[in-house]
Amino acid sequence: MSFEELNLISPIREALKKEGYTTPTEIQRQAIPPLLEGKDLLGCAQTGTGKTAAFAIPILQNLCKEQRDRKGSKNIKALILTPTRELALQVGESFTAYGRNLGLRNGVIFGGVSQKHQTDILMKGIDILIATPGRLLDLMNQKYIDLSHIKYFVLDEADRMLDMGLVADVKRIISHLPGVRQTMLFSATMPKEISKLVDSILTDPVRVAVTPISSTVDIIEQSVFFVGKKHKKHLLLHLLKDKSIASALVFSRTRYGADKIVKDLIKAGIKVQAIHGSKSQAARQQALNNFKAKKTRVLVATDIAARGIDVDELSHVINFDLPNMPETYVHRIGRTGRAGLGGVALSFCDEDEKPYLKDIQKLIAKIIPVVEGHPYPLNRMDVEEKKGTTKNTTKNTTKNTMNNTHNAKDNRSSKTI
């Protein structure tokens, strides 16, 4: 199927050609026709599937058609809510790219930066607003934003909103939207809380599910290294000696951990930067641009900051820490293997993280191959240290901890669809 067959207007087709898109992706094929007809949509898809264009193209086309009837209107007609600033910027770039021939205006707002530039844009008038929830509420309270003319509403990465504790904000924003509107909700997973939201905000939605969570990961070559916590940095340096790792996105569970990894890599002469919530927006954007431009070889990120990172040709994802939510593992490794290309995901697993590994393998329904024979294997000393046991009891310790699933379910409210 081609974009022509999707009945897109020629200015949009031209813009897509300029982007180098020749054929629609699966989610675009499935979502664009019902969205052009004005239907609500529930999209189960993650980044890398082309979901942004799947909702941006029909919004642009419908807005373009309506534009003629209300020339000069300064009202915001489409709202896209995203969990992070990076994703908001990326969605904004997509609207600009696909709508380059349409004369529609979009604006991106997010927290952590001065609001001046954003309010200036709002005052001039925009058709499409891309926003993170906190700054949006803030500017709504200051009366810079009126949502009463919204006709198109997208809630992007709804499950991530939940992970970030943003659902209450999202609900408050929704309460300000007109009742008659077209709503699109995208989520890679469907925790209970999000299912409830789906039922309350979507009307008879078309359901589109692409690349089910487990099959996305199939094209990515995954492996796990059992390693002692204090040897993880040595293992990382050892792996990065391999020059075939052209670019690597390294995940750390904490900001502190991310900074520590950066220090260790710099000491070893590796070009690296970090991206996490304690960094200013400018520093995060700069780190991302340097990584995209291949000025840095390694980008160290925490999960929240990494949301929305879109890097073409990312060869490796390295999980320095395993996440305690198995869905996060899928989000992380989905950074590589984009648009159907293969990728490599390497995960470090220490004694404490074995329960997380077990949960991940259950979710993706496969056993991740273990790399044997690397220089820093998890040894009896590491296990003993963790357990505080004596040598006499060590024999049983490994066996017991292998079966131990304690605390892996902590803070877990989500399940996969």
Instruction: List residues binding ligand AMP (CB under 6 A).
Output: 21, 24-25, 28, 47-53, 310, 338-339
Rounded Cα distance between 272 and 276, Å, is 13
Strands (E), 227-276: 248-251, 272-275
Could you tell me which residues are beta bridge partners of residue 319?
251, 347
Minimum CB separation of residue 15 from ligand AMP in Å reads 12
Coil, strand or helix at 223: strand
Q: Which of 180, 339 has the CB closer to ligand AMP?
A: 339
Minimum CB separation of residue 16 from ligand AMP in Å reads 7
Minimum CB separation of residue 49 from ligand AMP in Å reads 5
Q: Which of 88, 261 has the CB closer to ligand AMP?
A: 88
Q: Which of 42, 408 has the CB closer to ligand AMP?
A: 42
Rounded Cα distance between 383 and 135, Å, is 46
Minimum CB separation of residue 183 from ligand AMP in Å reads 18
Minimum CB separation of residue 53 from ligand AMP in Å reads 4
Rounded Cα distance between 245 and 321, Å, is 19
Q: Which of 57, 408 has the CB closer to ligand AMP?
A: 57
Rounded Cα distance between 333 and 214, Å, is 12
Beta strands across the sheet bearing 206-209 = 106-109, 128-131, 78-81, 152-155, 182-186, 41-44, 206-209
Q: Which of 21, 291 has the CB closer to ligand AMP?
A: 21
CA distances from 80 to 67, 203, 260 (A): 19, 18, 35
Q: Which helix (H) or strand (E) holds 44?
A: strand 41-44
Q: Which residue's structure tokens are 């700054």?
A: 135
Residue 221: CB atoms within 10 A of its CB come to 15
Minimum CB separation of residue 98 from ligand AMP in Å reads 9
Q: Which of 97, 371 has the CB closer to ligand AMP?
A: 97
Q: Which of 303, 321 has the CB closer to ligand AMP?
A: 303
Minimum CB separation of residue 169 from ligand AMP in Å reads 23
Could you tell me which residues are beta bridge partners of residue 251?
301, 319
